[in-house]
């Protein structure tokens, strides 16, 4: 994540920013960015494959 984007996020929070909430937001947005980059380069799996993987975890 770029420093400029982090600064923009920090500016959007109130003066008495909760550091944990801020870090959670930064972490979430970074994970979304990573996922979008993976989609762009074709690093995805089908819906059916995802369901099969989940079945193993949920069993």
Read off the pLDDT of each residue in 42-53 and give the average, rounded to a whole number.
Answer: 94
* Predicted confidence (pLDDT) per residue in 9-34, tens digit: 889 989 998 999 999 999 999 999 99
Find, among 27, 22, 24, the residue nearest to 9 by Cα: 22
Q: Return d(Cα 33, Cα 37) in angstroms, integer.
A: 6
Rounded-to-integer distance, Cα 10 and Cα 19, Å: 10
| Start-end of H helices in the chain | 3-12, 19-40, 47-58
**Mean pLDDT of the 25-51 span:** 95
What is the rounded CA–CA span in Å between residue 30 and residue 33? 5
Mean pLDDT over the full length of the chain: 92
Q: Is the pLDDT of residue 1 over 80?
A: no
Helix, coil or strand: residue 57? helix
């Amino acid at each position: 994540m770029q420093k400029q984007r982090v600064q923009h996020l920090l500016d959007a929070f109130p003066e008495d920013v909760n550091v944990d909430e801020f870090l959670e937001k930064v972490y979430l947005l970074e994970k979304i960015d990573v996922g979008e980059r993976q989609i762009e380069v074709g690093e995805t799996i089908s819906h059916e494959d995802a369901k099969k993987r989940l079945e193993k975890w949920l069993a």
